[in-house]
Amino acid sequence: MQKMILERKNHITVISGILIATAFISKLVFGNTEIFLWLLVFASFLGVTPIAIQAYQALKVKVVSIDVLVTIAVAGAFLIRNFEESAIVTFLFLFGAYLEQRTLNKTRSAIKELTEMAPESALKQMDNGEFEIVEVGEVEVGDILLVKTGAKIPVDGTIITGEGYINEASITGESFPVFKKRDSKVFAGTILENGTLKIIADRVGEDTTFGKIIELVEEAQDSKSEAERFIDRFSKHYTPAVLVLSFIVWLVSRDIELAITILVLGCPGALVIGVPVSNVAGIGNGAKHGVLLKGSEVIGDLSRLDTIVFDKTGTLTLGNPKVVQQKIYTDEFEKIFGYLSSIEKESNHPLAKAIVEYIGDVKAYPVERTEVIKGGGIIAQIDGHRVAVGNVALMEKENVYLSERIKKDILEMQNDGDSLVLTSLDGEIQLLMGIRDPIRQNVKGTLQKLKKLGVKNLVVLSGDNQGTVDLVAKELGLTEAFGNMLPEDKQSFIKNLQAKGQTVAFVGDGVNDSPSLALAQIGIAMGSGTDVAIETSDVVLINSDFERLPHALGLAKATAKNMRQNIVIAVGVVLVLLISVFFSEWMNMSIGMLVHELSILAVILNGMRLLRYRLKY
C-alpha cells in the first residue's frame, strides 16, 4: 500500500490542488463554508498521506527528516482546526517535490545523453567475408568492422582502409569533425559524417574510451564532497534542533500555531539539495566538454589549486620524438647503425622508437645479455663487442672518454634543447644523436589561461637533461624546470611542495607518472595515456586535449562558487523566515512553505547554470 501511494504521489498532488481550488470557489463564489471546510479536510488527509509515509520510513532508520517536520506541522494545524493551512502546506510541499525532481532530472540530462549515445550494433565481418549486423556485445578484440556514413563507431579501433570525417563531440566536446585515415585511431560513440571505414577492434564494451567515460561519470555522481558530507551531518542535528526550538516556543508562549509555523519554516530542504545539484551539474558539464572529473571531492580540491606540476614528454610535448641531428665519430657508421638499431628494437622507450625510425632498414645483429640501467640507458653484448647506449651519465659510469670535440657537440645539442643519446663501442664514443619532442600546439596559450585562473606555480619535471627542460620552460613561460628526474625524484618534489602548504596537481600520461598522479592532491591524466595513469588520476583530459585543462579548472572554481551561493541562499532564506515569524504580522505557514519551496527551486536553477558554463577567455 505504501509503495502504491508513493508511486502515485504526483496524482495525489493534482487531486489535492483541485480540491483546494474547488473549496475556495465554493466559499468565495457560492458562499458555502461547509463544503469549503470538508474539501480542505479531505485535501489535508490526502496530501499528508505520502508525506507521513516518507516520515515513517525515515524514522524507522532513525533519521528526523523534513517529512517528519511537515507531518507534525500539518497534524498540529489540523488539530487546531486550521484546515486552510494544513491543506495548502501539504499541497505546496508535494508540488515543490515534483518541481524539484523535474529540474533535478534536467541537471542529469548531460549524463543521460552520454548513455544514449552508446552504440548498440555493429557491422562485423564474418568467417565467409560478409558483413552482418550484430550487437555490440558480440564484438571481440581483433574483429574487423565496417562503418558507413552516418553510423556510430561501435568500438575503439584502428582504421585499416578508408578515410572520412568523424564527429568526436561525445569524446572531446568539440563539434568540428576530425579527418581520419588509415592507421588513425577511432573511438566508440563517435559518428562518421562521411566516407566508409574498415576498422579493427582494439577495445570493446566497457573497456572503450566511451565506456570508461560513462562508468567514471556515474561513479562521480555517487561520490560526495566534503561540503556534502558536512551538510549531511549538519542536517542530522539541525532537524531535531528545529523540533526542540518549536517545543520551547510552545512552552514559553503557549501559542501552538506559532510553534507549528516554526516547524514549517525551519525545513532545510534547499540546504540539503543545493550542494549535490551543483556537483552533478558540474560533472555533467565536464563530461560534455571532454573533461572527466572523478567525483565531487575532486571539484573542491581542483578549485583551490595553486601549483601544477607537468611531466614533459607526452604532456607538454607530443610524446613523438624525432632525431633532428647527429654526430658520427667512426668510419664504420653502417655497422654502428646496425648495432644501435638492433639494441633499440628491444626497447619500448620513445627515444628508442625515434632512433629505429630514423635509422630505417639496416643489417640486424643478434643482441646478447642486455642490461637496462635505470635513468641511464642500455648496455648489451653484440657481435663480440660491449655496446652502451644512453645519456652522458651512463658514459661516465662506463668510463668512456669524452674528447673536447665531443663535449662541445654535446653542449651545442643541449643548448638546442635536444635529448642526447650516445653510443659507445668497447669504451669509445661512436655516435651522438640529438632527439627532440615537439611541443604541443597552443600549449603556451593554455598555460597563460591557467595563470589567469589563479595558478601561481607552473613546474615541469622530466627525465631529460636540464638544458632541454630549461629551453622548454623558457619557451612556455614556466615558473620552474627540473631535469634528470627519476620517478622517485618527482614524488619527493611533490611531497616538498605539499609540505609547504601548496595544493598540487600533477599532469602526466605514462606508467612512470602513476605514483606522482596518486600522490598529488589532483592527478590529471591525458586520455591517450596508459590505463594505469588514467585509473590513478582524479581528472582525465579525453583525447589528450591539453586545451581542456583551463576549462576543467574554471569549471571546478565555478562549481565551488555555485555551491557556496546555494548554501548562502538556503541558510539566508531560513533565517529570514524564522526572524519574520517573530517580528512580522504577515508570516504564516502557507507563505513560509511557499518561500521554502521557491528557495529549493532557486538553488536547483542556480546549479543548472553550470550546464551552460564555458570559459570566457
3-state secondary structure of 153: coil
CA Rg value for the chain: 33
Give catalytic status of residue 311 as yes or no. yes
Number of other residues whose CB lies within 10 A of the CB of residue 441: 11
Shortest CA distance to 319 belongs to which of 340, 286, 350? 350
Residue 386's beta-bridge partner residues?
381
Alpha-carbon gap, residue 179 to 265, rounded angstroms: 59
Locate 329 and state its grid cell.
665519430
Q: How far is CA 3 from CA 7, 9, 50, 53, 490, in A?
A: 6, 10, 9, 9, 56
Distance of CA 410 to the CA centre of its chain: 43
**Number of DSSP helices (H) and strands (E) in the chain, helices first:** 23, 22
Q: How many CA atoms lie within 13 A of 318 on its CB side?
A: 11
What are the residue ranges of helices labelled H in 453-547? 466-476, 487-499, 514-519, 531-536
Residue 540's beta-bridge partner residues?
292, 525
Q: Are 592 and 579 a contacting pair, CB within 8 Å?
A: no
Cell 500500500 -> residue: 1
Backbone angle region of 157, left / alpha / beta, with phi > 0 → left and psi within -120 to 50 → alpha: beta
Tell me which H or E stretch contains 29.
none
- Helical pair 33-60 and 66-79, crossing angle rounded to 10 deg: 150
Shortest CA distance to 282 belongs to which of 217, 189, 213? 217
Q: Are strands 156-161 and 164-167 parallel, antiparallel or unpaired?
A: unpaired
Which of 143, 301, 311, 464 is catalytic? The answer is 311
Query: How is the chain split among helix, strand and coil, in percent rounded to 5?
Result: 55, 20, 25
3-state secondary structure of 380: strand
Cell 540546504 -> residue: 271
Q: Are strands 164-167 and 178-180 parallel, antiparallel or unpaired?
A: antiparallel
Residue 144's beta-bridge partner residues?
200
Shortest CA distance to 273 belongs to which of 574, 604, 611, 605? 604
- Contact residues for 259 (Cβ-Cβ < 8 A; gap 6+): 76, 246, 247, 249, 250, 253
The dihedrals phi and psi of 547, each to the nearest 5 degrees, come to -70, -10
Cell 559518428 -> residue: 191
Q: How many CA atoms lie within 13 A of 348 on its CB side?
A: 2
Catalytic residue annotation? 311
